[in-house]
Every structure is written in C-alpha cells, then in structure tokens.
C-alpha cells in the first residue's frame, strides 16, 4: 500500500516515536486518526484525533468506533510503556501496566478492528515492537517480555490471515532518542555502548515497511545480527552482556514508571 492511499489509525500518536510517525505519514499524504490519552489541538488537514486510553475497555470501544467511521485501512500500534530496571526493583503495578499497554491492548484492539479490516480490499496492521523482543537484554526483562509477546502474536496472526486481505507487519526499532527512555535507561545505554536512532529514522523505516508490504523489519546494526544469532544460537550471546550486568549491579534507586507514548 502506498502511504498516500492509507487511512491510518495510529495509537501513541502524541509523543515519542508516535509523533514522528504521525508527521511522516501526513507528509506522505496519508489521512491519520491519532489516538491520545490527553486532548490534542486540531492539526493540519488529514489529521483527526480521538481521545482514549488503549488500556481501558471504554477506550478500546471509542477507538474502534472512530476507526470504523474513518474507514481505516491501516492500523499502526505505536503506544506503549517503558519497563527498565532489574526485575526485583519493579513493582507489581508497573509489571501489570507494562504488560497491559504493550501486549494486551494491541491484541484486544486488533481483535476489535479485524472484522472491519477484513471487509477492505486491502488492509495492513503494523505492530511497533522492539529489537528487545528478540534480544534478551539485562535490565529489560519486563519490557523485552512484553515485546517478545507482541512479536509472537504478530507472527502467528500474519500466518493466520495469510489467505485474506489483511497483511500483518512488524517494525522493530532499537534504542531511540525520545523521552520514552528515562535518565536511568539513558545512563545504562551510555555505559553499555548502546547505539540509538532518531525517531525520524524509525518513522521513515515505517513508511518503507508499509509501502514494501514486507513482513518485518529490524532497525540498526549490530542488532539485526544479534537477532539472527539469538534466534539460531541463543546461548552464544549470554556472555555478551557483562557491561550491562555490571551497571545493573550498582546500588541504584528503583526505576520509575514512565509516561505512555
């Protein structure tokens, strides 16, 4: 699908990667229905907003109704919560909220939208995952678990819908320079030598993924290599994370829950 032909439902549209995706889609000529928990001012032509929380039943119903009214043919799941920190320092509330926002919400919203999408001549669903959904990184056990679940869901759904009009795709960025990463996560990434990209790089990759109709795309090197090695020989990578473990072993305060994008 060409981006100019897309009528997009975009979750997480008001911040971080979602904002960059929204702007890139509009420049490419797409119509965008952005989802945000907070009120948003009217945007340029082609942009509408629905105020809703993807983690609530009422929010999911409002989003699905708005998508039906707008005859959406492309869904981009970009909303999510961070989950950085050693497991023993994470609260139960944080664990539950990250899994709800990053995994349960996109599954439930997809289920609600699928009957309508199946009636389109062509439709696409794009899940914004993470390289950490395939690379088990110390300090990101919770976040990685939520994205690994999302990757598994996207892969199975892609195969489930392969004979129909709906194409399922996955975009997996590496660390991205947005407020999604708090100060502790940024310090961790710096200490471990983690490479990062701008949100505009991720947004451009998304446009290319949509128009190519490829099944998935991972952003960054050596992350793409690590994904392949981890898939084939997962134990081989276990010794590669000493710097990450050293940083986590320092006596630091518990990680704070960040804002949803």
Quick check: 260 pLDDT over 60?
no
pLDDT of amino acid 84: 93
Mean pLDDT, residues 191-206 = 90
C-beta separation of 139 from 186 below 8 A? no
Q: Given a cut of 90, is residue 103 above it in pLDDT?
A: yes
Q: The pTM is what?
A: 0.86
Gap between the Cα atoms of 227 and 237, Å rounded: 10
Buried b (16+ CB within 10 A) or exposed e, 219-246: bbeebbebbeebeeeeeeeeeebeebee
Fold of 3-249: Rossmann fold (3.40.50)
Contacts of 75 (CB under 8 A, 6+ apart): 8, 9, 67, 109, 110, 113, 117, 123, 124, 125, 126
Residue with tokens 């996109």: 106
Q: Where are the domains of the chain?
A: 3-249
CB 51 within 8 A of CB 40: yes
- For the purposes of burial, counting CB atoms within 10 Å of the CB of 88, is it exposed (0-12), middle (13-18) or buried (19 or more)? exposed
Tell me what the mean pLDDT of segment 77-104 comes to.
96
Residue 8 phi/psi, 5° resolution?
-100, 130
- Whether 9 and 71 have beta carbons less than 8 Å apart is answered as no
Can you tell me which residue has the tokens 């939520």?
A: 146
């Amino acid at each position: 699908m060409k981006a100019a032909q897309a009528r997009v439902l975009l979750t997480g549209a008001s911040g971080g990667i979602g904002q960059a995706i929204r702007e890139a889609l509009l420049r490419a000529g797409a119509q965008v229905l952005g989802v945000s928990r907070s009120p948003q001012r009217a945007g340029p032509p082609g942009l509408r907003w629905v105020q809703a929380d993807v983690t609530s039943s009422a929010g999911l119903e409002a989003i699905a109704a708005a998508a039906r009214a707008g005859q959406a043919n492309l869904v981009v799941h970009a909303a999510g919560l961070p989950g950085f920190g050693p497991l023993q320092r994470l609260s139960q509330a944080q664990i539950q909220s990250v899994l709800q926002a990053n995994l349960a919400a996109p599954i439930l919203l997809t289920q609600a939208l699928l009957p309508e999408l199946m009636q389109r001549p062509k439709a696409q669903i794009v899940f914004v995952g993470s390289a950490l959904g395939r690379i088990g990184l110390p300090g990101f056990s919770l976040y990685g678990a939520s994205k690994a679940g999302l990757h598994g869901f996207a892969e199975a759904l892609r195969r489930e819908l392969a004979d129909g009009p709906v194409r399922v795709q996955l975009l997996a960025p590496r660390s991205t320079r947005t407020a999604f990463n708090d100060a502790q996560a940024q310090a961790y990434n710096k200490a471990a030598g983690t490479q990062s990209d701008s949100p505009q790089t991720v947004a451009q990759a998304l446009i290319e993924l949509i128009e190519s109709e490829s099944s998935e795309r991972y952003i960054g090197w050596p992350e793409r290599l690590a994904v392949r090695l981890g898939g084939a020989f997962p134990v081989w990578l276990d010794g590669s994370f000493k710097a990450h473990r050293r940083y986590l072993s320092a006596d630091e305060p518990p990680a704070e829950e960040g804002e949803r994008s």
